[in-house]
Amino acid sequence: MYQEAIKKYVEQHGHQRLNLKAVLFDMDGVLFNSMPYHAEAWNKTMSRFGFNLSKEEAYLHEGRTGAGTINIISQRERGHDATEEEIQQIYKAKSEEFNSYPEAERMPGAWEVLQKIKAAGLTTMVVTGSGQGSLLDRLSHNFPGIFQKELMVTAFDVKFGKPNPEPYLMALQKGGLKPEEAIVIENAPLGVQAGVAAGIFTVAVNTGPLPDHVLLDEGANLLFSSMPHFNEQWEMLYEALKQG
Ligand code: CA
């Protein structure tokens, strides 16, 4: 079944074959189990400012910039964008709320599959909208020897962010890769949208509460139900990918 998805991708994009060299990982909700905390922080903070943003809806906005999310809710509930000052206030409060929670743990299965990918000689990259200063430390502490600073795309690198393809296009550029030489691993609808728009084979891993179709509707080439499931299936998927 993996061959079929790969064949479909190759034909759609007019490539000769998929020639896998690198795996591009999203971070929140893929490498770290941080999304429940983000959803909680969004929900609490927005209601403190008089807005309704359910935890489930927070998952739909995952990957969007803070300002983008706040404006969508403000438009819906008040019919206009939030002011610059409101955006700063709300986003600061949300970040403070998030930072008061325990540090997110590694997603189960993530370390295992990363080691296999590394052992296969493939390049591993992180492509995230996060701009936390401690990001690199956290990655090297939790996933020692897996990621290099030069092969990361963060909030500091990009102008638009997901769902714009920019972060993934930048990852291809940094890695010296063509779209058909990489795959994207994403958990959020907007992240899948970004990977697909960059022309890269995009694997959705549904680690949150949204129904599968939300990720498939964005054009995900494959879907796994969890990171442990992705890890279990990696050998079979890799075999199919090698055949291109
Ligand atoms: Ca994510």
- DSSP string computed for 94-111: HHHHHHTSPPPPBPTTHH
Regions of the chain short of the pLDDT cut 70 = 133
Give the distance (Å) from ligand 1 centre to CA of residue 61: 10
The pLDDT score that the predictor gives to residue 130 is 81
Q: Cα(22)–Cα(3) distance, rounded to whole angstroms?
A: 18
The pLDDT score that the predictor gives to residue 158 is 87
Strand order across the 222-224 sheet: 152-153, 123-127, 22-25, 182-186, 201-205, 222-224
The pLDDT score that the predictor gives to residue 134 is 76
Q: Work out whether strand 201-205 and strand 123-127 pair parallel, antiparallel, or are unpaired.
A: unpaired
72 and 16 belong to one structural domain: no
Give the distance (Å) from ligand 1 centre to CA of residue 16: 30
Give the distance (Å) from ligand 1 centre to CA of residue 33: 9
Which residue segment(s) compose the domain that 126 sits in?
3-34+106-243
The neighbourhood of ligand 1, an ion, using CB within 5 A, equals 26, 28-29, 187-188
CATH number at residue 55: 1.10.150.240
48 and 161 belong to one structural domain: no
Angle at 210 between CA 206 and CA 213, to 5 degrees: 80
Q: Cα(102)–Cα(242) distance, rounded to whole angstroms?
A: 40
Identify the helix (H) or strand (E) that includes residue 64.
none
191 and 161 belong to one structural domain: yes
Spatial contact of 106 and 31, defined as CB atoms under 8 Å apart: yes
CATH number at residue 148: 3.40.50.1000
Give the distance (Å) from ligand 1 centre to CA of residue 244: 26
In the listed set 49, 67, 99, which residue is the last one of a domain according to the structure? 99
In the listed set 59, 76, 99, which residue is the last one of a domain according to the structure? 99
H-assigned helices in the chain:
2-13, 35-48, 55-60, 66-78, 84-99, 110-119, 135-142, 166-175, 189-197, 212-216, 227-243
CB atoms within 10 A of CB 15: 17
Give the distance (Å) from ligand 1 centre to CA of residue 7: 26
CB-based contacts of 15: which residues, under 8 Å, 6+ apart? Answer: 9, 179, 180
8 and 89 belong to one structural domain: no
21 and 112 belong to one structural domain: yes
Spatial contact of 26 and 110, defined as CB atoms under 8 Å apart: no
62 and 27 belong to one structural domain: no
In the listed set 99, 131, 149, which residue is the last one of a domain according to the structure? 99
Give the distance (Å) from ligand 1 centre to CA of residue 187: 5
The pLDDT score that the predictor gives to residue 121 is 97
Q: Cα(129)–Cα(136) distance, rounded to whole angstroms?
A: 13
140 and 202 belong to one structural domain: yes
Give the distance (Å) from ligand 1 centre to CA of residue 192: 9
Q: How many domains does the chain have?
A: 2
The pLDDT score that the predictor gives to residue 55 is 96
What is the tens place of the pLDDT at every residue in 91-128?
999 999 999 999 999 999 999 999 999 999 999 999 99
